[in-house]
Amino acid sequence: MTRVYAVKKIKKRRSRFGPQQNGHEKELLCHRIASGHRNVLTLHHVIDSGDVLYLVLDYLPEGDLQTSLTEHGSMYRSHPQHIKRIFLQILDAVQHCHDKRVYHRDLKPENVLLKDFGATAVLADFGLSSRKASSVDFEIGSDYYMSPECYGELHCSKPYASVPNDVWSLGVMLFYMVIGSPPWTAARTGCKSFLSFLCDPDFFLRRYPVSAEMNRMLMHVFAIDPTRRMSIDQLRGYVQGISLFTVTESQVRRLRTVMARPPRATV
């Protein structure tokens, strides 16, 4: 039986001494170490042709989670069990990577592939991954998904831990799956939405149709202090236990009416 593979082409950097593989060894090492899990894209072979590296990977023709959310977002939002199934698989993949001391640093729907008619999620693209538990590489990743400490702004450019940085990205991914958009364009004070989040403890309840359960989880996964951010195991427990990610428009209006009332005076 013929098996089909995908091939990723990486052009080596050049110097006056010729093509240089430096910069790609990290991706290859991290991907090799992370391979072997059912929810991680398998790297089968690397072919070095001199100027170019060819990475031989599993071929998954169903596309990525971002495309699926764009084209079938209402299907996800109307079936919370499907969101749970896909997101829990992503958590399993990331936890496997962390157990192997591989930190992805670019977790987003574009880097999650789908197979089995959309029922199975597979983590891909280790181009920005690292084996360092602590990092001083700032603004590494994609704006929507980077944690505030990765921007360096709120934490005075101090070294930041790689695990909670990935957890923050996972929180944004789940929010995207549930709501259909990320909560902000960037987790920095120059972004009005993120600044509103910093100033308003009821930010999500005021702006989005999230349930009280979902709101409680978001406040833990988006803890500004990385040491207080929930772990992947805690995030998994929250997601498994949530009965509703969102509420109806009438429930939203009723909640916002209650929130807008001034507190009762006490005697």
pLDDT at residue 1, as a whole number: 75
Q: DSSP secondary structure string, 7-50?
A: EEEEEPEEETTEEE-TTTHHHHHHHHHHTTSTTB--EEEEEE-S
pTM: 0.90
pLDDT at residue 116, as a whole number: 96
- Amino acid identity of residue 209, one-letter, is P
CB atoms within 10 A of CB 262: 5
Count of structural domains, the chain: 2
> Which residue segment(s) compose the domain that 218 sits in?
65-253
pLDDT at residue 73, as a whole number: 86
The answer to whether residues 231 and 186 belong to one domain is: yes
Catalytic residue flag (residue 106): yes
pLDDT at residue 259, as a whole number: 61
The answer to whether residues 240 and 122 belong to one domain is: yes
- Give me 71's structure tokens: 């084209």
pLDDT at residue 19, as a whole number: 45
pLDDT along the chain (267 residues), means of 10: 90 57 79 97 93 94 96 88 97 98 98 97 96 95 96 85 98 97 96 96 95 96 97 97 86 61 55
94 within a domain of the structure (yes/no): yes
pLDDT at residue 2, as a whole number: 83
Q: Which of 58, 64, 92, 106 is catalytic?
A: 106
